[in-house]
Amino acid sequence: MNLQNHKDLIQENGFTIINNIFSDEETEKISEFIQHIDTSKETFRKSEDLFAIRQFLKEIPNVKDLIFNENIKSIIKDIFGSDYFVVKSIYFDKPEKSNWYVAYHQDLTISVDRKAELPDFGPWTTKQNQFAVQPPLDILENIFTIRIHLDDTDENNGALKVIPGSHAKEIYRPETIDWTIETEEICRVEKGGIMIMKPLILHGSNRTTNGKRRRVIHIEFSDRELPCGLSWSERMEFEN
């Protein structure tokens, strides 16, 4: 697998798409693990428009070996290096008739183990005993996200739309987007494919219109330790 082109695209545009990373058999096995879990926990969010599992890899540890197959491990090593570890994981299921619309935004917070008064860290939020904070920009710039698609995804069932290159413009408020110079791109990803993105890229998604569900596993990675004894709340090593 020649990954230099994808490495260049991430640097330039803030994202890339690589299909055929998981076989149909692998995606079905992952789906089976998800179907047989207790959904009553606090880390689960369930509504007509969305089913989500926060701390996904902690909640379903048996799925870890399936997700970190040889393809994913070589992609992480060759594109980002051998020192990266998991810092956040979420599962999203956008049902067939979902009206869930996500406006353009950047992913500006990280999940940590506690609240601490640190310079350049803030604002802070707490959800389901989970501390989240906006860290200094250099920490955000160092993170990358892999989105694993368990369904074919296009503009009709909530594929991400992004503004290429916006990851390089630091904090970019959506209300200030200048559409005379920016363009929107729809990220169509096949079942078993992945999208890799920098969290600072402006991204959003539209409502589902074709009656097809969209299931995505969102995993964030970093190779940075946090200052003053603060720790990533979901830190997880994997064999790379």
Q: Smallest Cα–Cα separation from 184: which of 215, 163, 159, 168? A: 163
Element (H, E) at 220: strand 214-222
Q: What string of DSSP letters covers 165-198?
A: TGGGSSS--GGG--TTT---EE--B-TT-EEEE-
Among the listed ranges 38-42, 142-146, 165-169, 172-176, which one has the minimum average pLDDT value? Answer: 38-42
Question: If DSSP codes are grouped into helix, strand and coil, which group holds residue 86?
Answer: strand
Residue 162's φ and ψ, nearest 5 degrees, are -135, 165
Say which residue, 52 or 218, is predicted with more confidence.
Answer: 218
Q: pLDDT tier at 237 (50, 70, 90 boundaries)?
A: very high
Q: Which CATH superfamily groups domain 4-222? A: q2cbj1_9rhob like domain (2.60.120.620)
Task: Give me 29's structure tokens.
Answer: 């096995």
Q: Please state the domain extents for the chain.
A: 4-222
- The answer on pLDDT for 49 being more than 70 is no
- The 10s digit of each residue's pLDDT in 73-99 is 999 999 999 999 999 999 998 877 777
Q: pLDDT tier at 209 (50, 70, 90 boundaries)?
A: confident
pTM of structure:
0.95
Beta bridge partners, 234, equal none
